[in-house]
Structure 1
Amino acid sequence: MVDEASPTGPGTPPPGHNTPIVIDEAHNPYRDCIQGLANEPITVVRLLRDAVEALPPGSPLTRLETVTLPEVVSRLVANRPRVAIIAGSPDHPAHLLDRAHALMAAARVWQNGGVPFHFSVPVICDGTAQSNIGQSYSLASRNHTSAAVNINFEGHSYHAAYVLAGCDKSPSAIIAALAAAEVARRARGNQAPVWAVFAPEHVLRGGTVPEGTRRALLDVAEAADAAGHHDLGADLRETLRYILQCSSDEAFAGQLERAVNLDLIKPVAKRRLLDQLAAATCHEDGGICAFNGTGNSSRTMMAALGLTPPELELLTGLPPQEGVAKGIDGLFALFNKPEYSVVSLLAANFANVVRMHGATGSSSNMLLHLPSIMRHAGFDVTIDTYRAIRDATPVPEVFAHSLTEGRDTFALARQFAQGANRGMESLYAVLARLGVPLDLDAPTVTGGTWAARIADLRDHPVDESLGESAVIRARPIRTRSGVEVLDGSFFESCVVKISGLSDDQIAHFDGRVLLVRHYENEHACSADFAAADLMERLRRTESLDAALLGAAVAANGGAAAQGRQAAEDPALFGDLVGQGLLAFAFVIAGQGPLAYGMPEMFAPSQNLRHHRLLEASSILVTDGRYSGVTKGPCLGHMVPEAYQGGGIGYLRDGDALRLDLSAGRLDLLAPAAFRAGRLEPMDPHTDAGRTALFTERWDRMEARRLEIAACNVMDGVSDASRGVVPMAVDRRAKRPYPVPKATKT
């Protein structure tokens, strides 16, 4: 039943819905089972009473007719749309405004003749979980959330979802859960598919370093310069250019630890500065952090999949009532139209998402989440599918996101609100105008295609008068973009975020030979990065003799004699590292999903990225994950992981790796041949002398798994190339996904 209200405001039924909608399906558990019909109506009445009490007086959304138990029962028996409003936990900063948002959505569902329900799921904050055991639970939380949402959605027989989508893993988890429900319903044959609308949480406004704290940090930088540690002084000044977010706090933490180890400040001063930074970081309204990490990459993914109404795509606070009403109205317009179901939208838009992921320089984590979503939807999608689409239809980078130049996601959202861009519609229009082959006939939750949505944007996709302040650019920033998938002599696949590398870095590291330092956990690696005697530790790496150093310097374009001399000359050694002629691969193994839950290696990657000497010379390699905000040369998601006997677990200190970005390869070089000047790839499994070393490491990996609660150890999951999904999901993903033929842009 719909109330009488203004024909243009909230309270108006969606176009064509003058009569209540009934879902067309044979099965109705609320008609056929008295228990649900007896249990659930009281939850609906309480939810709507809360809406009337909490929403502003006089709001059109509070004009609700006949909110009674008999009316709820009547709607359930009639099979009116049962809509689950899915929110997150209030201990996550992104979800601080969920209650008011959920109540607006519930009221509009009722006004449109449906039956609203509300539930929330735990959402782990990856920032909070960084550098502690929480990261071993983070990826597991995605699979648990999928299972929990699916259980609730199926157990209470909902038809559709209005999702208050947060950051980290939860958006991917919820999409996967809804897709899995639809696949199961199709198998049952007597139920309608699943429909959904996703409303991404608002963007968190970045903080500002307090003036006193800024002065104190500059004092540390000056002290570093005075003591001859100009790299640290420059690093601190560079980090002060960033917006204050938890990601920049992590960089400050690493740099201040270096300052402590160099005896430039006392530990108590470090603690005081970090506390001051922490207290100034987050705006009280919360939101998704403004860097282009997994949270905002998930926003991009949801919008590119066609799951997000344009009114709700880029918010800076609680959405207006009109926006929520349009989102719910749009959802109701999809009912009984299977071509707009969740699985249908995934199938139609997945290749578009791969292109958008590249064009926007989004998170490397998405190369885990995209296969997971599609495998839950029944499609046999792997990282190779991603690579095939990327190779067939390359895209330029058109997203000028920057944390130092005023172009973070909060700035993007403000430009969106001002009409300077239309978010995902502008991105589709930009790429289409540049000749990138997109499926513009793919459907979206607006009830129209991308072609219809961008028809008026072909000539002017964005406001170019913004100039350098624009986040979305009508002209490419560069031709190479996104995340690339590599293979090599000791593994099947890994990923590297090309968008996190400058053009100079790409050129510098292409063909670079790097010497291995092997670690079994991130903490030991980060400790080395912060050490006062870092260069000496590197120089004393096991197996680094004069012959090896000479071969490494020669392979990187220097004089072999200098490399040999550096074995005994610490100053020369440091100079060669600074020039990049001596380069290192910091390998952190035993971090894969089976071994340790696949934690993010964000802390060591930040410490590398914000360490001037190391950034110029070295890379990180891991079977763990990397955050979307990771910059610099970081290779992760390596398959097979060390715990499964992958070659990364057989590497040892002093091994030589060659990174060939042009060919998409990372190879281990045969030691004897390399010392003789030949670059011959080898598989470390063929070296019998490494077997005992690996066995010792595997025993330590097995013991380390005990640190994770047994209920969250990731046994029985696929590898990273297949999305780290439960094996039952992996086995059922049999539908082939078509890969487009190669097309020149």
Structure 2
Amino acid sequence: MMAHLYPLIENEVNPYRDNVQGKANEPITVAGLLDRAKLTLGSTYEGGKPDWTLEEIYMRLERNAPRIAIIGGSSDHPAHIMDYQTSARAAIRIWQNGGVPFYFSTPVMCDGTAQSNQGMSYSLQSRNAVAQMVVNQLEAHSYHGAFVIQGCDKQPLGVVSALAHVDRVRRNRGEAPFFATFAPAHVLEGGTIPDDVIDELEALAKKAEFEGAQDVAFDLRDTMAYILQCSSNTAFQGVFERAYERGILTKEQHKYFEMRLAVATCDGQGGVCAFNGTGNSSRHLVAGMGLVHPAVELLTDPPSQRQINAVLDSFAGMINKERYGVSNIVAANIKNAIRIHSASGGSTNLMMHIVSAMLYGGYKFSLWDLDNIHHSHPIPDLFDYSLTEGRDIYSLAMQCCSGTSRGMETLFYELIENGVPMDQDVPTVAGKTWRERLEITRSLKAVNVKDNKVILSTPRRSFSGVDVLKGNFFESAVVKISGMPTPQLDQFDDKLAFTLYYENEDDANKSLLDSSLLTTIKGQKLFPHDLLLATLKFNNELEWNRLKDATYNELFDEMAEKGTMKIAVIIAGQGPVAFGMPEMFTPMQHINANCIMKKLATIISDGRYSGVTYGAAIGHMTPEAYEGGGIGFLQTGDIVHLQLRSRRIDFIDCSQLLLGNIVHEFSSQLKEERQSLVEERKQRMKIRQKLVAASNRMYGHTDAANGVVPIAIVEDAILDYEKDLLVQETNIVNK
């Protein structure tokens, strides 16, 4: 018998040995997969004469050769267009190494496609659905390991959660550890606006200026500066709608521009979009978890056979070793992952997904554990990412492919150099610890990149990442500090803001696209004169001295123009139970694409945000409005104190404010007075909730601070993530 690279699985349990039906059913699926793989690869096939006879497949199943699932995604997501090629290469190599390859795929929702429609209520739930489906298939077909083609949005951490969970279940049953590796889809190059469209858009901007709509002209030119991607299309859409409303362009012209921009957005072979959204944040995070082989971490094209071979050959040293079980690798690397997520400006979505992965892996973990790790040592901002200056994630991938950067290994190294305590002696799927990986110093330092550095050696700022907020009317919320440039952070930090309350995202979007929104607020005096003066005195006393005798209209206009008036746009009723916790990307994009509102408004919501969202975006608020959270008691005209650097937002007693006192109080009396209003709102939430299919509503789950996972998952999560770890095969260590 020919010796193979992979050892047999050391496990008394082998359903294929003990039950003939598996050996009768599955050999044809394996042979079919390998036949298709050879056909797909054509002249690039690297191997001898096919030897995958049904008899040989039968014998491998009988002997308990490693049964390895290739887990792909659905080809209706751009990240998975080329899965057929990657899975073909993986299947051939698994067979050559003595394993038995299988293939299945999961549905993968594209958050961009689902954005601003009912589909977004299914996005977060799809993470748990993916986890369930993957667990079902791995357990039903008794697979030992997985090669995961990592895509975008909720799929990556859904699969991480599933594999960590299967590994934990297998270990609890005394079976062999479940091993896996992730191969992220290549990075999709951002699109380019066609030259003739640039000329036409510039003509439109000049027309807007001529007609007195300088704000539309400014916002249009600002949006044109970005690489073309699905998120910038939304920004264009918002500007076009404002221009249409003011008679600057026709609906036909709007649709013409929309079409020309849309078809120029994506490259034909797909990939993960070039912005640092949830897709690429997940790429960095999963790499930080030790689950990505460096050969395939950051590519500009689908991986070659040589790269796939390097990934799959590493399994030889991982199979049967408990320290390489998925749940152990995730927990052993959790501090590394959180620090890489922070330093690279990762998505707020991952604040829930990190917690989810740990809970599915059997470890007690919450948002507060994540926050403690984040703030146990300062984590500098080492990621100079830009969508307007040639430093997107595609640029980083090009640097990695050219050999001048090593991606997350470079970031890991630079964090150490900046004094951040990284866990270097923990296992990774390269079959080496981080320390062993960093011993190879070629192209390791950030200074090796001469032009358009994305990863830095000298920090942009001494702090980074997503902060967890507390307040007197809620328990937890998050804000992406790394998504706020320092001048913008200064604009909103330690400021009093009027609340502008919306019961749902649809109402907020309509209002934020209304070019007369501020005029309406002023005309209805939704923010009373005396409170405008009181907030101005706190926010900018020099301006208060200048304007204290102004009329209401003069005061309002000056505060809006100077940015001294702050507005907290409250979008409630968007939590997991109420509406599936959709992303508030679109309303935040409408604010960011409006030069006036951008300096005035923040959003506070019990919903989520897109990974590409930037600006003063506060979300994940718990408890959610549907569950009686304080956000549901707010109403337009209330005042909150934004204290972002102190990581707090507090409700202000307006009567005390008028006396010159800043009193943080969210009184029981106020809640009693507004209880009937809250109940009316909940009834409307219940009606709106029926827009989401009952089968996919998120009842029986934890809240956003606890990962939004099924209650059964958190009940079984009893391990200590700092103590119950294997770093060396013979020792459980306390890190």
- What is the TM-score when the length of structure 1 is the normalising length? 0.94
Partner residue in 1 for 2:224: 240
Change (3 A) 1:686 1:24: farther
Distance 1:172 1:384 in 2: 19
1:154-193 correspondence to structure 2 within 5 Å: 154-189=139-174, 191-193=175-177
Partner residue in 1 for 2:727: none
Note if contact 1:490-1:684 (Cα within 8 Å) is conserved in structure 2.
no
AA matched with 2:109? I
Note if contact 1:546-1:564 (Cα within 8 Å) is conserved in structure 2.
no
Q: Does 1:443 align with 2:427?
A: yes
> Structure 1 residue 663: deviation in Å?
1.5
Partner residue in 1 for 2:538: 555
Note if contact 2:367-2:705 (Cα within 8 Å) is conserved in structure 1.
yes
Partner residue in 1 for 2:258: 274
2:46 aligned to which of 45, 60, 63: 60
Partner residue in 1 for 2:733: none
Distance 1:194 1:734 in 2: 19
Note if contact 2:5-2:97 (Cα within 8 Å) is conserved in structure 1.
no
> Structure 1 residue 630: deviation in Å?
0.8
SS, match of residue 327 in structure 2: helix
Distance 2:193 2:510 in 1: 26
AA matched with 1:364? T
1:90 aligned to which of 75, 81, 87: 75
Note if contact 1:547-1:564 (Cα within 8 Å) is conserved in structure 2.
no
* Segment drifting more, 232-241 vs 112-121: 232-241
Partner residue in 2 for 1:42: 28
Note if contact 1:551-1:563 (Cα within 8 Å) is conserved in structure 2.
no
> Structure 1 residue 31: deviation in Å?
0.7
Distance 2:447 2:305 in 1: 27
2:134 aligned to which of 121, 127, 149: 149
Partner residue in 1 for 2:270: 286
* Segment drifting more, 726-735 vs 106-115: 726-735
> Structure 1 residue 707: deviation in Å?
0.2
> Structure 1 residue 57: deviation in Å?
2.5
Q: Does 1:222 align with 2:206?
A: yes
Question: What is the percent sequence identity of the aligned residues?
Answer: 43
Partner residue in 2 for 1:581: 564
Change (3 A) 1:459 1:249: closer
Partner residue in 2 for 1:489: 472
Change (3 A) 1:719 1:541: farther
Distance 2:163 2:101 in 1: 17
> Structure 1 residue 188: deviation in Å?
1.5
Note if contact 2:277-2:611 (Cα within 8 Å) is conserved in structure 1.
yes
Change (3 A) 1:458 1:556: farther
Change (3 A) 1:59 1:554: same
> Structure 1 residue 550: deviation in Å?
1.2
Partner residue in 1 for 2:514: 531
Partner residue in 2 for 1:33: 19
Partner residue in 2 for 1:120: 105
Distance 1:484 1:539 in 2: 33
Q: Does 1:106 align with 2:91?
A: yes
Distance 1:216 1:514 in 2: 39
Distance 1:306 1:541 in 2: 56
Q: Does 1:608 align with 2:588?
A: no
> Structure 1 residue 704: deviation in Å?
0.5
1:619-630 correspondence to structure 2 within 5 Å: 619-630=602-613
Distance 1:555 1:240 in 2: 37
AA matched with 1:251? A
Change (3 A) 1:562 1:229: farther
Partner residue in 2 for 1:742: none
1:425-440 correspondence to structure 2 within 5 Å: 425-440=409-424
> Structure 1 residue 227: deviation in Å?
2.7
Note if contact 1:579-1:617 (Cα within 8 Å) is conserved in structure 2.
no
Change (3 A) 1:421 1:685: farther
Aligned-residue CA RMSD (Å):
1.8
Distance 2:224 2:259 in 1: 16
Distance 1:641 1:273 in 2: 39
Distance 2:57 2:703 in 1: 46
> Structure 1 residue 552: deviation in Å?
1.5
Q: Does 1:477 align with 2:460?
A: yes
Change (3 A) 1:19 1:737: closer
- What is the TM-score when the length of structure 2 is the normalising length? 0.96
> Structure 1 residue 213: deviation in Å?
1.9
SS, match of residue 450 in structure 2: helix
Note if contact 2:380-2:459 (Cα within 8 Å) is conserved in structure 1.
yes
Aligned length: 722
* Segment drifting more, 177-186 vs 365-374: 177-186
1:698 aligned to which of 670, 682, 686: 682
Distance 1:364 1:70 in 2: 50
Q: Does 1:133 align with 2:118?
A: yes
AA matched with 1:267? K
Partner residue in 2 for 1:397: 381
Note if contact 2:9-2:176 (Cα within 8 Å) is conserved in structure 1.
yes
Note if contact 2:409-2:444 (Cα within 8 Å) is conserved in structure 1.
no
> Structure 1 residue 678: deviation in Å?
1.4
> Structure 1 residue 512: deviation in Å?
0.7
Post-superposition Cα deviations, 1:399-436, rounded to whole Å, max 9, x if no partner, equal: 11100000111111001111110011111111111111
AA matched with 2:43? P
Note if contact 2:177-2:324 (Cα within 8 Å) is conserved in structure 1.
no
SS, match of residue 458 in structure 2: coil
AA matched with 1:336? N
Post-superposition Cα deviations, 1:591-614, rounded to whole Å, max 9, x if no partner, equal: 000000000000111111121111
Contiguous gaps of at least 5 residues in structure 1: 3-16, 740-745
1:309-458 correspondence to structure 2 within 5 Å: 309-457=293-441
1:76 aligned to which of 47, 61, 64: 61
* Segment drifting more, 425-434 vs 127-136: 425-434
Partner residue in 1 for 2:579: 596
Partner residue in 2 for 1:197: 181
Change (3 A) 1:567 1:100: farther
Distance 1:281 1:156 in 2: 40
Note if contact 1:304-1:349 (Cα within 8 Å) is conserved in structure 2.
yes
Note if contact 2:149-2:184 (Cα within 8 Å) is conserved in structure 1.
yes
AA matched with 1:159? H
Distance 1:504 1:160 in 2: 48
SS, match of residue 285 in structure 2: helix
Note if contact 1:650-1:684 (Cα within 8 Å) is conserved in structure 2.
no
AA matched with 1:713? R
Post-superposition Cα deviations, 1:110-152, rounded to whole Å, max 9, x if no partner, equal: 1011100000000000000000000000001101000000000
Note if contact 1:588-1:620 (Cα within 8 Å) is conserved in structure 2.
yes
Note if contact 1:307-1:444 (Cα within 8 Å) is conserved in structure 2.
yes
Distance 1:43 1:464 in 2: 47
Note if contact 1:546-1:566 (Cα within 8 Å) is conserved in structure 2.
no
Change (3 A) 1:604 1:732: same
Distance 2:584 2:693 in 1: 21
AA matched with 2:700? G
Partner residue in 2 for 1:14: none
> Structure 1 residue 454: deviation in Å?
1.1
Change (3 A) 1:560 1:349: same
Q: Does 1:512 align with 2:498?
A: no
Q: Does 1:678 align with 2:678?
A: no
Distance 2:114 2:274 in 1: 18
Distance 1:489 1:629 in 2: 29
Note if contact 2:500-2:569 (Cα within 8 Å) is conserved in structure 1.
yes
SS, match of residue 250 in structure 1: helix
Change (3 A) 1:522 1:346: same
> Structure 1 residue 730: deviation in Å?
1.5
AA matched with 1:357? H
AA matched with 2:8? V
Post-superposition Cα deviations, 1:358-396, rounded to whole Å, max 9, x if no partner, equal: 100010110010000000001111110111001102210
